[in-house]
Chain A
């Protein structure tokens, strides 16, 4: 069990800057994110795309923004819990008990939800029959590639994950690669390699096909694919892999008893607290009159939510506003002279 002042759900730009503001006012926090890396949508959706509307930064990429925010909170040594998702929130006296998928438990008077549009989950096959094999022979990520040795593997998708795995697994497995159109969005060199392997009959390539059905008694036996004009083919398959990128799902946040307006959480604009005492929501996941889904708005929301947290984390102290340019206490916290 970890005791702290604040648990931040989401390590995107908004969560990171809120952590900074907590550090500045002398509070501790722990940051949990479902992704395996820091940066949220900035790193997952557009690491290389330039952003032009961060104040005083004429242009930076999602990755640069993330790196700078991480650098900015370094002095505080806050801990990140990546690849983990907050599953359950329960109130106990003045604390929230926060439980994660990896069975971590935090006790904190405050939770700041900076969860964007929810957590990133792999996009799954639309076919109902695929659910039955989900996690056993229908997979959306690979943890142990040795299970595919000498097996028939049908890989769906046209991006780098699909291409890279098709190339890699073709060394030891019988690979079919199925994609809905002729063009691939993966790296040029990988596309060339796939075409080469297809010409040598090492990979069975099916373009302009998508999944229709998966079949098997107990274990998976075959996958049926269909072309756009309805023609279908049956392929033998021990495993079916889908690489269609990630989608954002609100997930367990919907079950914490918070007021929800569609997929977003209404907050007050004084401190961005939700209808639950000590639970704040900032960034894309919060809503209020005039809300803009901009990173800069998330920064502002995080700064105010941090002050909101102070009152529950230090009930016997009075919060005093200070500037980083003038306060020696803040400079101590930052480790500068």
Chain B
């Protein structure tokens, strides 16, 4: 279980507890948090669950696997802090993680 803070582009914060084994994307979708669309349902083929993670946490997350950066190329305003939230698996280690949403997903 990890407490995750989802921060909308307008600054509105949502803190939810997400079960281990779910992804950060699923944590948002299951709790009706706006700003993460996840059109493809988590198959890493749409880039609409794009989030920014600040350096402190970014470096602690498991590294990106092959293909994630390719999809991020197609995201809305990606930068070096970008991740696809469907590729971040929740575990106890992620307790306290904050993710920032882009202005929009497409």
A interface with B by C-beta (< 8 Å): 41, 45-46, 117, 123, 126, 157-159, 179-181, 183, 185, 210, 228, 244-245, 247-249, 263, 284, 293
Contact = CB atoms under 8 A, between A and B. Distances in A.
B87 to A, nearest CB: 15
Interface stretch (B14-22, B43-51, B91-99): B43-51
B80 A244 contact: no
B6 to A, nearest CB: 17
A117 B39 contact: yes
A274 B76 CA distance: 33
Contacts of B76: 126
Given A247-B48, A248-B39, A248-B46, A159 B73 contact: yes
A268 to B, nearest CB: 23
A210 B76 CA distance: 11
A158 B69 CA distance: 11
A247 B73 contact: no
A126 B50 CA distance: 15
Given A123-B106, A228-B79, A248-B39, A46 B45 contact: yes
A147 B79 CA distance: 33
A180 B78 contact: yes
B40 interface: yes
A179 B74 CA distance: 11
Contacts of B46: 45, 247-248
Nearest to B39: A117
B106 A249 contact: yes
Given A45-B46, A248-B39, A185 B79 contact: no
Interface string B63-106: 00000011001101111100000000000000000000001001
Contacts of A46: 43, 45
Given A123-B106, A228-B79, A249-B106, A244 B43 contact: no
B74 A245 contact: yes
Contacts of A126: 76-77, 103
Given A158-B73, A185-B70, A248-B39, 5 more contacts: A45-B45, A245-B74, A247-B106, A248-B46, A284-B41
Interface in B21-45: 37, 39-41, 43, 45
A45 B40 contact: yes
Question: Could you tell me the dominant secondary structure of chain A's interface residues?
Answer: loop
Chain B contact-residue range equals: 20 to 34
A39 B36 CA distance: 26
Given A41-B40, A45-B46, A293-B41, A244 B106 contact: no
A126 B76 CA distance: 7
Nearest to A245: B74
30 contacts: A41-B40, A45-B40, A45-B43, A45-B46, A46-B43, A46-B45, A117-B39, A117-B40, A126-B76, A126-B77, A157-B73, A158-B70, A158-B73, A159-B70, A180-B78, A180-B79, A181-B69, A183-B69, A185-B70, A185-B73, A210-B77, A228-B79, A228-B80, A244-B74, A245-B73, A247-B46, A247-B106, A248-B39, A248-B46, A293-B41
Nearest to A118: B39
Contacts of A210: 77
A45 B37 CA distance: 17
Given A41-B40, A123-B106, A249-B106, A244 B73 contact: yes
Nearest to B76: A126
A158 B73 CA distance: 7
A328 to B, nearest CB: 42
A293 B29 CA distance: 14
B104 to A, nearest CB: 8
Contacts of B77: 126, 210
A57 B23 CA distance: 28
A290 B72 CA distance: 31
Nearest to A117: B39
A17 to B, nearest CB: 19
Nearest to B80: A228
